[in-house]
A and B are shown apart, each in its own frame.
Chain A
Amino acid sequence: MPTMNMVQAINDALRGEMRRDSRVVVLGEDVGKVGGVFRVTQGLYDEFGDERVIDTPLSEGGIIGCAIGMALYGLVPVPEIQFSDFIFPAYDQIVSELAKYRYRSGGEYSAKLVIRTPVGGGIRGGHYHSQSPESLFIHVAGLKVVCPATPADAKGLLLASIRDPDPVLFFEPKRIYRAAKGEVPEGDYVVEIGRARIAREGKDVTVIAWGAMLYEAIAAADQAKEKGIECEVIDLRTLWPVDIETIVASVKKTGRVIVVHEAPKTCGFGAELVALINEKAFVHLEAPPVRVTGWDTPFPYTLEMEYLPLAHRILPAIVTTAQYQ
Chain B
Amino acid sequence: MQGAAPAPHAAPTAPLEDDVVRVLRDDGSLDPEHDPKLDPDAVVAIYGAMVRVRLLDERLVGLQRQGRIGFHIGSQGEEAAILGSAAALREHDWIFPCYREFGAALWRGMPLAAYVNHMFGNEQDPMKGRQMPDHYGAKGARFTSISSPVGTQITHAAGFAWAAKIDRATARREGRALVGAEDVATLVYFGEGATSSGEFHNGMNFAGVFKVPLVLLCRNNGWAQGHAAEKQSASVSFAAKGVAYGIPGVRCDGNDLFAVLAVTREARARAARGDGPTLIEALTARMPPAREGAKDASEAWKKRDPILRVRRHLELRGVWSEAKQREYEAATLAEIDAAIELAERVAPPALGTMFDDVFATPTGSLDEQRAELLGSPRATGLAKP
- Residues of chain A touching chain B, judged by Cβ–Cβ distance below 8 Å, are 22-23, 25, 49, 51-52, 56-57, 59, 61-62, 65-75, 77, 89, 92-93, 96-97, 100-110, 141-142, 144, 165-166, 194, 240-241, 244
Q: A59-B202, A68-B156 are in contact. Are A104 and B170 (CB under 8 A)?
A: no
Give 1 or 0 for each of B203-232: 1 = CB within 8 Å of chain A CB. 101100100000000000000000000000
Q: Are A61 and B199 in contact (CB under 8 A)?
A: yes
Q: Are B125 and A106 in contact (CB under 8 A)?
A: yes
The contact of A105 among B137, B173, B176, B358, by CB within 8 Å, is: B137
Q: Name the B residues within 8 Å of A105 (CB-CB).
A: 126-127, 137, 139, 145
Q: Are A108 and B126 in contact (CB under 8 A)?
A: yes
Which stretch in B158-166, B263-271, B330-338 binds the other chain?
Answer: B158-166
Q: A93-B152, A101-B145, A109-B137 are in contact. Are A69 and B199 (CB under 8 A)?
A: no
Q: Name the A residues within 8 Å of B67 (CB-CB).
A: none
The contact of B156 among A22, A72, A103, by CB within 8 Å, is: A72
Q: Are A96 and B152 in contact (CB under 8 A)?
A: yes
Q: Which of A23, A25, A52, A105 has the most CB of B within 10 A?
A: A105
A192 to chain B, nearest CB (A): 13
Q: Are B144 and A51 in contact (CB under 8 A)?
A: no
B94 to chain A, nearest CB (A): 8
Q: A69-B161, A74-B163 are in contact. Are A61 and B202 (CB under 8 A)?
A: yes
Q: Please, how many angstroms separate the alpha-carbon atoms of A194 and B166 in the complex?
A: 33
Q: Which of A49, A66, A96 has the most CB of B within 10 A?
A: A66
- Can you give 22 contacting A-B residue pairs, CB < 8 Å? A23-B179, A25-B166, A62-B155, A66-B158, A69-B155, A69-B157, A70-B163, A70-B166, A72-B144, A73-B164, A75-B167, A92-B152, A93-B199, A97-B147, A97-B152, A101-B145, A102-B360, A104-B130, A104-B147, A105-B137, A166-B360, A241-B363
The contact of A106 among B130, B163, B174, B198, by CB within 8 Å, is: B130
Q: Please, how many angstroms separate the alpha-carbon atoms of A231 and B55 in the complex?
A: 71
Q: Name the B residues within 8 Å of A141 (CB-CB).
A: 358
Chain A residue at smallest Cβ distance from B145: A105
Q: Please, how many angstroms separate the alpha-carbon atoms of A77 and B162 in the complex?
A: 12
Q: Are B180 and A69 in contact (CB under 8 A)?
A: no
Q: A61-B198, A75-B163, A92-B149 are in contact. Are A69 and B158 (CB under 8 A)?
A: yes
Does chain A have a CB within 8 A of B304? no
Q: Are A51 and B169 in contact (CB under 8 A)?
A: yes
Q: Please, how many angstroms separate the alpha-carbon atoms of A77 and B160 in the complex?
A: 11
Q: Please, how many angstroms separate the alpha-carbon atoms of A209 and B361 in the complex?
A: 26
Q: Are B357 and A102 in contact (CB under 8 A)?
A: yes
Q: Are A69 and B127 in contact (CB under 8 A)?
A: no
Q: A66-B162, A241-B365 are in contact. Are A107 and B357 (CB under 8 A)?
A: yes
**6 extra interchain contacts, Cβ-Cβ under 8 A, other than A66-B162, A74-B163?**
A66-B155, A73-B159, A74-B180, A97-B147, A108-B137, A165-B361
Q: Are A69 and B156 in contact (CB under 8 A)?
A: yes
The contact of A75 among B176, B179, B360, B365, by CB within 8 Å, is: B179
A237 to chain B, nearest CB (A): 15
Q: Please, how many angstroms separate the alpha-carbon atoms of A97 and B128 in the complex?
A: 17
The contact of B159 among A23, A59, A69, A101, by CB within 8 Å, is: A69
B130 to chain A, nearest CB (A): 6
9 nearest A-B pairs in the assembled complex, by CB-CB distance: A69-B159, A65-B155, A66-B159, A73-B163, A62-B202, A241-B363, A69-B160, A165-B360, A105-B145
Q: Are A57 and B359 in contact (CB under 8 A)?
A: no
Q: Are A104 and B158 in contact (CB under 8 A)?
A: no
A87 to chain B, nearest CB (A): 15
Q: Name the B residues within 8 Å of A241 (CB-CB).
A: 359, 363-365
Q: Please, how many angstroms separate the alpha-carbon atoms of A89 and B157 in the complex?
A: 18
A45 to chain B, nearest CB (A): 14
Chain A residue at smallest Cβ distance from B214: A69
Q: Name the B residues within 8 Å of A108 (CB-CB).
A: 126, 137-139, 145
Q: Are A106 and B152 in contact (CB under 8 A)?
A: no
Q: Are A142 and B356 in contact (CB under 8 A)?
A: no
Q: Name the A residues within 8 Å of B169 (CB-CB).
A: 51
Q: Name the B residues within 8 Å of A49 (CB-CB).
A: 170, 173
